[in-house]
Amino acid sequence: MIANMANFSKLSPQAKKALILATDAPVQVTALVELSAGYDAETDLPLKALDATLQGWSTHSRIVTLKLPSSHLGNLAETRGVTYVELGETLANPSDPPN
């Protein structure tokens, strides 16, 4: 299910594309997440509910790296304290042949 369209403003163009494509075939993606000041990645992000794994966290820059299903990007954007979500990799075009 696609999240509230108002929260699409927190998603980068590639993250929006991944969320839209997830309705057909969700894939694991790496997301770079910017948190508001005062938020803690380990205690304030619902990692289990997002089926996400914390890959890295820079407390000085408030940037968190998560691995999660693309279908959960909208829920991540709706999470309190999340200010922006960027994909850490480029999505492959489904019509491109594998390398």
pLDDT recorded at residue 92: 57
28 confidence band (pLDDT: 50, 70, 90): very high
Average pLDDT score over the chain: 84
47 confidence band (pLDDT: 50, 70, 90): very high
Structural domain including 16 reads 5-87
Is 95 within the bounds of a domain?
no
pTM score, two decimals?
A: 0.81
Is 58 within the bounds of a domain?
yes
Q: How many domains does the chain have?
A: 1
Query: 3-27: buried (b, 16+ CB within 10 Å) or exposed (e) per residue?
Result: beeebbebbeebbbebbeebeeebe
